[in-house]
Chain A
Amino acid sequence: MAMMRYAEALRSALREEMQRDPSVWLMGEDIAVYGGVFKVSKDLMAEFGPERVRDTPISEQTLTAMAVTAAMSGTRPVLEIMYADFLPLSVDALMNQASIYNYIWNGQVTMPFVLRTQGGGGAGAGAQHSKSLDALVAHIPGLKVVAPATAADAKGLLKAAIRDDHPVIFLEHKLLYNTRDEVPDGDHLVEIGKARIARVGSDVSIIASSKMVVDALKAADELAKEGISAEVIDLRTLRPLDRETIKASIARTHHAVVVNEGWCFCGYAAELSATIMESCFDDLDAPVERVATHDIPIPYSEPLESTVLPDANKIAAAARRALA
């Protein structure tokens, strides 16, 4: 075990996979010479050379299409899109190429690429640099979508994503890069599609991902002071969704709070809520409580931004409503 920052864990995953497999290479805006705006790819160009760590123009739509063709041609590109807010530029290549070629060509092509990006608010970055667009990509069949909350999962899931023969959208969070936790030594892999119980509890299940897991754990600490025992499920993978872990938890707690930092309307939390309704209805002792971002652009002003985004207090309040 080694104490590591989330960003360092990502870098060590990239380095290990590039050392292991010469077909793995990186591209993105300012990732090579500058090392990435969040320094995830720092020093990798010096180690692996400019052929395998490539700076690109600001051209997300073209880059994503390049990643698709490079993946079809036998390499394993890892593309960084600097802000998730610019994912819409990538969506055509994701939706009309990456996610369907394996299907329409009857399995004759694989699509082993990873699109890394980071989203989320709370940094005062304004309406064009703060969004969580989980639902936009998780909506697309044929994509896998992961959103790690810890350094250990960031490393293990990125290594697994790079080895996956299907396109994986890897959602990071700008406020997690400097969080630290223990990362297992050695070839640490985390299976895509498996949730993690971040905290054991018996009264209410809080289901979250990415930075919302941190907020959910804080909420659970607050609730514990009131005698409420909250279980926190860290989904880790948004698609495919680990329904079994959710079902097993709600079968014991009978109360559910679903949390997602994306917008509320038609958001990922709505998918969780529907899943619970479909598979756990007879176990529910109260309506599912949903915590998500208000349906407006993310404000730049700090007090306004914190009003709009989900946080520990809102999650705790939702848990209290569920248990009322």
Chain B
Amino acid sequence: MSHEITLAGGAGEYMESATVVSWAVEVGDPVRAGDVVVVVETAKAATEIEAGRDGVLAAILAPEGAEVGIGAVLGRVADGLDADEVTPVEPQPAVAEPEAAVPNALAKAETAGRRVGISPLARRLARQAGLDPSGIAGTGPGGRIKSRDIERVLRERAEVAPAIAPIVAVPSPGVAGTGSAAPLVLLHGFGANAAAWNMVRPHLDGRPVLTPELPGHGREPALASPSLEALAEAVLGQIEDSGARECDLVGHSLGGAVAAVLAGNQSVRVRSLTLIAPAGLGPEIDGGFLAGFLSARTAESLMPWLERLAADPARLPRGYAKAVLRERERFGVGAAQVTIAQRLFPDGTQAIRIAADLDRFAGPLKVIWGKGDRIIPQRHQDDLPGHAACHRLGGVGHMPYLETPALVAQLIIQNVRSAKAS
């Protein structure tokens, strides 16, 4: 004669159902009246159910995780185990099917192979590259595989470029879930990279942002023959990879010239165009800056040139020179940038022209220029087409997005909004 274990007495008066949290004893274990045998959780609290008599736990009918109705029998206590009781009884209809198979499967997987310690980034890179990380030796603490280990393996396979590029080309975190909203594409200038926009981004109202990079400036491989059109094509590829069908385009300096060329592309519609001190509107450019910037190898020799970028050098971020040098060292971008400078700015002269591209662009066009720009003279905007809005910023040099990020962001958003209205 067995005794049924039920919710009666142990559960709250308002209860409709309960979930079995844990069994305190296993089938076959002896129990005494009053021992806690099972814990269930109701909407209000966890409740301990006690054995109603002495004996052994003869059967568990509602395994851990099962949801049971108010009248359900959770298990049985009997004098001993007989053949009938050992056989698991089919759960009653009210009892949900437990997911017993899952923990077993996990346990098997963990014991079958060595568990691989790997950082989330490294795992993502490995997955993108189709690598099985289990064979890779990790160099992080405790042998954890870090991104450098994946990069090392890929380098050894001479596959570094395709695996690494997507890190930058994909939309930044936060873009996901914004649906079909056209991203704001921010294109940095010569010698910079996607990080250039860090000061502006916090002011952009959380809009989806893409920050592609010019070839030879970081993660995008350098081009053997970097014409303005070839640069534009490489950037367009990154925008296309994001899945965007249209975008609002912002470009600074050389990035501004590239943006102007992109404005007429056929694959991703450009809704609005915001150019910050763009190249390509006149022949003058500070050749001394280009030469000094490219040849500097220490923070001390680089800083005087960087200071020329801003009207008030104190507004440049601390550690700016070192950050620039660090990027150069990391990506070996020096030679690539020299090639670009020789091709586009030979002998300290701008050999690129964007006036015709701007004439053709029918969307909102805004040009932002610092009155104190010592790299590209702001008078170049005097010959812009009539539909362009010109903003001349006092006390600002060649880097309005660093020198007055909130204002630049505000102007960008204005231009983007005017595109929506059109």
Interface residues in chain A, defined as those with a beta carbon under 8 Å from any beta carbon in chain B: 182, 194-203, 217, 220, 224, 227, 229, 242-245, 247-249, 251-252, 254, 279-286, 321, 324
Contacts and interface: CB of A to CB of B under 8 A. Distances in A.
Nearest to B142: A324
Contacts of A224: 319, 322
Interface string B311-333: 00010011110110011001000
A52 B320 CA distance: 46
B101 interface: no
Interface in B286-334: 314, 317-320, 322-323, 326-327, 330
Contact of A201 (B174, B314, B323): B323
B124 A182 contact: no
Contacts of B198: 197, 200, 245, 248-249
Best-surrounded residue of B173, B198, B317, B320 (most CB of chain A within 10 A): B173
Interface in B156-207: 172-174, 194-195, 198-199, 201-203, 206
Contacts of B318: 198-200, 217, 220
B213 to A, nearest CB: 11
Given A220-B318, A286-B140, 19 more contacts: A197-B317, A198-B317, A198-B318, A200-B198, A200-B323, A202-B323, A227-B326, A229-B326, A242-B202, A244-B206, A245-B198, A247-B174, A248-B173, A248-B174, A254-B121, A283-B120, A285-B120, A285-B146, A286-B119
Contacts, number: 90
A217 B202 CA distance: 20
* Majority-rule SS of B interface residues: helix
Given A182-B314, A200-B198, A202-B327, A248 B172 contact: yes
Which 10 residue pairs across A and B have the least CB separation, nearest first? A285-B121, A200-B317, A247-B173, A229-B326, A285-B119, A245-B202, A199-B318, A285-B147, A282-B124, A282-B120
A194 B320 CA distance: 21
Contacts of B322: 224, 229
B390 interface: no
Contacts of A321: 141
Best-surrounded residue of B121, B123, B140, B201 (most CB of chain A within 10 A): B121
A213 B124 CA distance: 32
Interface residues of B, number: 32
Contacts of A182: 314
7 contacts: A197-B199, A200-B317, A220-B318, A224-B322, A229-B322, A282-B120, A285-B147
Contacts of B174: 243-244, 247-248, 279
Contacts of A254: 121, 147
Interface of B: 119-124, 140-141, 144, 146-147, 172-174, 194-195, 198-199, 201-203, 206, 314, 317-320, 322-323, 326-327, 330
B201 A248 contact: yes
B170 to A, nearest CB: 9
Given A229-B319, A248-B198, A285-B147, A279 B173 contact: yes
A198 B316 CA distance: 10
A229 B322 CA distance: 8
A245 B201 contact: yes
Contact of A194 (B122, B124, B202, B330): B202
A202 to B, nearest CB: 6
A224 B319 CA distance: 8
B143 to A, nearest CB: 12
A220 to B, nearest CB: 7
B195 A202 contact: yes
A36 B201 CA distance: 38
B319 A252 contact: no
Contacts of A227: 326
Contacts of A242: 202
B140 A195 contact: no
Given A281-B120, A283-B120, A195 B173 contact: no
A223 to B, nearest CB: 10
Contacts of A195: 202
Contact of A202 (B120, B173, B330): B330
A286 B121 CA distance: 8
B319 A283 contact: no
A242 B201 CA distance: 11
A194 B203 contact: yes
A284 B202 contact: no
Contacts of A286: 119, 140, 144, 146
Contacts of B147: 254, 285
B160 to A, nearest CB: 17
Given A199-B318, A324-B140, A283 B121 contact: yes
A202 B326 contact: yes
Contact of A220 (B146, B172, B319): B319
A79 B35 CA distance: 58
A251 B173 contact: yes
A129 B119 CA distance: 41
A265 B202 CA distance: 29
Nearest to A321: B141
A299 B245 CA distance: 60
B127 to A, nearest CB: 10
A306 B147 CA distance: 36
Contacts of A217: 318
A279 B175 CA distance: 12
A259 B141 CA distance: 22
A249 to B, nearest CB: 7
A279 B177 CA distance: 13
A92 B322 CA distance: 49
Contacts of A248: 172-174, 198, 201
Contacts of B199: 197
A284 B125 CA distance: 11
A284 B120 contact: yes
A248 to B, nearest CB: 5
Contacts of A285: 119-122, 146-147
Nearest to A284: B120
A282 B121 CA distance: 5
